[in-house]
Structure formats: structure tokens, C-alpha cells
């Protein structure tokens, strides 16, 4: 039938996988046990979808993407734990770029874009219509709200929280360990970075552990953030210091939908 799944002859699809009408699976793709692919989803060449992954309707998964990867725990890992994780879940109309890696235990709401070569770890939630740019790394135990933009090569450390409508420019680096991997004391103090609703962070900014950037605040490019940033305040410098309030016309609530 016209709307039946289309499977390339070189694709490997487990007998327990469920492919809805209109699914397309390209050459060399591997679909594991108990995977569910929603209506109209496309799977690119040599993409790998691991056991149990749940994919919504009209999702695009590009070549060489890996969905549902299990985390690895090295003996010295500080935050990664060995445990059962729920399946990776992708909402309707998500986009997953070439070479992207999405771990088991993550959940993406509808219309999220994960660009080429990005990585999303376990215990991550990403809200509707958020964009994760090319080469971005989102570590484990991170929450990202809806309608955020996280641009090329940004690093979002574990234990971070990003609110609705936040903007993170290229090469931003979040940190979570003031002890830089030394002494067992560090395990008591691991804390990520918090961006409250509408906060914006410019290119090449470094945020130290436990920092909160207030709602609608703006951190200028190249700054080093060593202390909390008040809401609706522009800060800049090394270390970042308050400069002036954010103009009213730049506040999130004053933008067109």
C-alpha cells in the first residue's frame, strides 16, 4: 500500500519494532527491539535506534544518528550512575541531525531540533521548539525549557537548569566543579548553572558552578560569571559586573510570538 513503511533492503529491523504508516528507513539503518516509530517518520542511512526508543510522528532522523545510546560509567565518573533508564522519547516533528547522539533516558518534547553532531545525555528533558545547535553537548541531569536556542559548540554541564526562552550563544561553557576533580569534598558541592526565564548569554562566556542568571538578564560576550546575575541586568567583564538594565523592548514578554 502507498502508506505502508518503506524499508531499504540493507536496513536491519528487529521483528518486535513497530513502524507506523508512512515510515521510511534508508540503507544500512538499524532499528532495535521494541522501537516505536510514529507515522511519517524518516530514518537516514546508517542511523541506529536502540531498544525501546519511542519516536513520535513526522520525525526526521538523519544519517549516522544514534538514538537510545546507553551511558558509559568510568571508575572515576562523578555523576554517571549504573541503573535502568526509561526509553528515549522524541515528540512529534522533532529533527535529529547527522551524527547526533541521544542517550536513553532523555525526553524531547514536540518540534525540538537537535543539529548535526550534538550530544544529549541521559536524564535530560528538552521543551517544545527548543533548538540544540551543531556540536552542542548537553550533559546528564539537565532540564531545558521550551523555545530556547543553544548555539554551536556550547557546553551545558550536568546538573544545569535552563528556563523558557533562554538564548545561549556559541562556545559558551557551563561548569559544575569548583574543585577541578581533586579531593572527595567535590562530590558534596557539584552544582550546575541555572538560567531563569528569558536569560541570554553571549559568545565565549564561562559560568562558574552554582551560578544563577536571573530572568531576562544578559551576559555580554567573553565574560566570566563568578556570582549570581540579577534579573533584567546586563553584566560584562572578567569577572562580570553589572553595567545597566536590559531595555524594556528586549524583555521576553515584549517579543512577538
Q: Give the integer Cα–Cα distance in Å for 231 and 254.
A: 15
Last residue of a domain, one of 62, 93, 108: 108
The pTM of the full predicted model, rounded to 2 decimals, is 0.94
98 and 178 in one domain?
no
| Coil, helix or strand at residue 81 | coil
Q: What is the CATH number of the domain that holds 53?
A: 2.160.10.10
Give pLDDT tens digits for 155-173: 999 999 999 999 999 999 9
- Note whether residue 89 is domain-resident: yes
| Burial zone of 205 (CB within 10 Å; 0-12 exposed, 13-18 middle, 19+ buried) | buried
- Note whether residue 125 is domain-resident: no
- Note whether residue 57 is domain-resident: yes
94 and 11 in one domain?
yes
Domain carrying residue 178:
174-246
Which pLDDT does position 2 carry in this prediction? 44
- Note whether residue 49 is domain-resident: yes
Which pLDDT does position 1 carry in this prediction? 34
CB-based contact 184:167 (threshold 8 Å)? no
98 and 186 in one domain?
no
- Note whether residue 101 is domain-resident: yes
Going residue by residue through the chain, which has 257 residues, state the pLDDT in tens, using 9 for 90 and above: 345 678 888 999 999 999 999 999 999 999 999 999 999 999 999 999 999 999 999 999 999 999 999 998 777 676 677 789 999 999 999 999 999 999 999 999 999 999 999 999 999 999 999 999 999 999 999 999 999 999 999 999 999 999 999 999 999 999 998 777 777 777 777 899 999 999 999 999 999 999 999 999 999 999 999 999 999 999 999 999 999 999 999 999 999 86
- Note whether residue 128 is domain-resident: no
103 and 4 in one domain?
yes
Which pLDDT does position 134 carry in this prediction? 98
In the chain, the number of structural domains is: 2
- Note whether residue 251 is domain-resident: no
Average pLDDT of every residue of the chain: 94
Which pLDDT does position 33 carry in this prediction? 98
Amino acid at each position: 500500500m502507498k502508506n505502508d513503511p518503506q524499508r531499504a533492503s540493507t536496513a536491519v529491523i528487529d521483528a518486535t519494532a513497530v513502524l507506523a504508516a508512512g515510515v521510511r528507513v534508508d540503507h544500512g539503518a538499524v532499528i532495535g527491539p521494541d522501537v516505536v516509530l510514529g507515522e511519517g517518520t524518516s530514518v537516514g542511512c546508517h542511523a541506529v535506534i536502540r531498544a525501546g526508543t519511542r519516536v513520535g510522528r513526522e520525525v526526521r532522523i538523519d544519517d549516522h544518528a544514534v538514538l537510545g545510546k546507553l551511558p558509559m560509567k568510568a571508575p572515576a565518573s562523578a555523576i554517571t550512575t549504573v541503573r535502568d533508564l526509561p526509553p528515549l522519547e522524541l515528540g512529534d516533528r522533532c529533527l535529529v541531525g547527522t551524527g547526533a547522539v541521544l542517550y536513553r533516558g532523555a525526553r524531547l518534547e514536540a518540534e525540538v531540533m537537535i543539529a548535526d553532531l550534538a550530544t544529549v545525555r541521559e536524564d535530560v528533558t528538552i521543551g517544545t521548539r527548543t533548538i540544540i545547535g551543531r556540536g552542542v553537548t548537553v550533559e546528564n541531569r539537565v532540564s531545558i525549557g521550551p523555545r530556547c536556542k543553544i548555539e554551536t559548540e556550547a557546553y551545558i554541564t550536568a546538573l544545569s537548569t535552563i528556563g523558557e526562552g533562554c538564548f545561549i550563544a556559541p562556545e559558551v561553557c557551563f561548569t559544575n566543579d569548583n574543585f577541578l576533580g581533586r579531593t572527595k569534598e567535590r562530590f558534596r558541592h557539584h552544582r550546575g548553572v541555572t538560567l531563569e526565564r528569558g536569560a541570554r548569554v553571549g559568545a565565549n562566556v564561562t559560568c562558574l558552578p552554582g551560578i544563577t542568571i536571573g530572568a531576562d538578564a544578559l551576559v555580554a560576550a567573553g565574560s566570566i560569571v563568578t556570582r549570581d546575575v540579577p534579573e533584567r541586568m546586563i553584566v560584562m567583564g572578567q569577572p562580570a559586573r553589572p553595567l545597566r538594565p536590559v531595555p524594556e523592548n528586549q524583555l521576553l514578554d515584549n517579543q512577538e510570538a
